[in-house]
Chain A
Amino acid sequence: MFGKKKPVKSADQQLDEAAKMNAEHIFDDQFREELRNRGRLHFEKIIGENAMFLQQDLRLTTSQLNEYMKTEITKKLQEEFAKYEQSIMDAKNLAIDSIEKTNQVIEEQRQALSAELSAQLQAEKQQMIMRFEDDMAEIVNHYILAAIGNQIDLSDQLEYIIGELSANKEAIAEDVRRGA
């Protein structure tokens, strides 16, 4: 190497060449493979970490979303249930009012009917009593006639008949005089 004189190279050139040679020597395939592996591992580690973060985020988001959905749905459902309950209560109150009014009307009609029926019964009873009282003389007379009609002797009545004639003597005499 020192026998032939070689053209003198500058120091920089020499350094570049030396670096080039060393670099080729240092960054050989093995080293590169090692770097590649290390890079891959590092990349995988970063990817894993990110995936984990992403998973955590996703879980958190999902959890929050679930919670939100749950809250919203519960709220909506409660609102709807409250409305539904209110509607049912309104319908129930309406039905109760209607039933109460119907009951009131029925009760009023029942009372009116009862009063009318009672009045009619009373009137009919009174009418029957009056008719009975009016016809009582006929009834008793009929009974006497049926019971002892054949046993009544005219001779026993003579005193009564003469008595009645005497009591009406003047009136009969006046009638007879006018008739004659």
Chain B
Amino acid sequence: MEPKAILPVSVVSPGDVARLKRALERHIELATAARLKTKAGVATETPKVGKVLAELANGYGCDLAKQEGQEALLKHLDTLLTKAPAVAMSFAADPSSLFMNKIVTWLRTNIHPMLLIKVGLQPSIAAGCTLRTTSKLYDFSLKNSLRDNKHLLIEGLHAKQEAPKA
């Protein structure tokens, strides 16, 4: 899929996209109802669009005030849900929004602009994170780091053990 716009950093996971899609569908329903009421001569207010949805529409260049814009964005969201690449990241603690914003920004800048991230919690990794693509698991956890540097621990223990003898 060729990216046409950059996703807002607040849209992180496929769940966020699905939530936005539901919000857009609700908006379309309200807008359609408002249009019909206007045609019938009933004064109605134009339904308001959420901040994230507006940001996304702006990113895609879609005018949500128009039906074409709404349908185009809905199509983009469908495409995102079905075709956007996704990775799963696990942390030892629940990450803050600011933290996730930085991670998402880096990933979309350096890996793929449409990348979606499923965030998970895995307390046993203690620190760091794990990243799982469709085919591989990248373990950047403290647990894995300790495992990789196990020889240093063993050397340290042996050195400590031999020290009193000397």
Contact = CB atoms under 8 A, between A and B. Distances in A.
24 contacts: A136-B146, A136-B153, A138-B147, A152-B92, A152-B126, A157-B128, A158-B102, A158-B103, A161-B103, A161-B129, A164-B140, A165-B106, A165-B107, A173-B111, A175-B133, A175-B134, A175-B136, A176-B85, A176-B87, A176-B112, A177-B112, A179-B85, A179-B133, A180-B112
Interface string B122-146: 0110111101011110101011001
Contact of A145 (B87, B126, B140): B126
Contacts of B138: 164, 168, 171-172
A171 B115 CA distance: 15
From A149, A157, A158, residue with most partner B Cβ within 10 Å: A157
A154 interface: yes
Interface of B: 1, 83-87, 91-93, 95-96, 98-99, 102-103, 106-107, 110-112, 115, 123-124, 126-129, 131, 133-136, 138, 140, 142-143, 146-147, 150, 153-154
A79 to B, nearest CB: 72
Contacts of B128: 157, 160-161, 164
B126 A144 contact: yes
Contacts of B99: 154-155, 158
B128 to A, nearest CB: 6
Nearest to B95: A154
A136 B135 CA distance: 29
A171 B84 CA distance: 18
Contacts of B107: 165
Nearest to B139: A164
Contact of A154 (B87, B92, B112): B92
Interface in A137-160: 137-138, 140-141, 144-145, 149, 152, 154-155, 157-158, 160
A178 interface: yes
Interface of A: 133, 136-138, 140-141, 144-145, 149, 152, 154-155, 157-158, 160-162, 164-166, 168-169, 171-173, 175-180
B10 to A, nearest CB: 18
A152 B123 CA distance: 11
A168 to B, nearest CB: 6
* Chain A interface mostly: helix
Contacts of B106: 162, 165
Contact of B153 (A140, A173, A178): A140
A12 B4 CA distance: 211
A180 to B, nearest CB: 4
B154 A179 contact: no
Nearest to A166: B110
A135 to B, nearest CB: 10
Given A161-B103, A165-B107, 16 more contacts: A136-B146, A136-B153, A138-B143, A140-B153, A141-B146, A152-B93, A155-B98, A158-B99, A161-B129, A162-B102, A166-B110, A169-B110, A169-B111, A175-B135, A176-B87, A180-B83
A175 B135 CA distance: 7
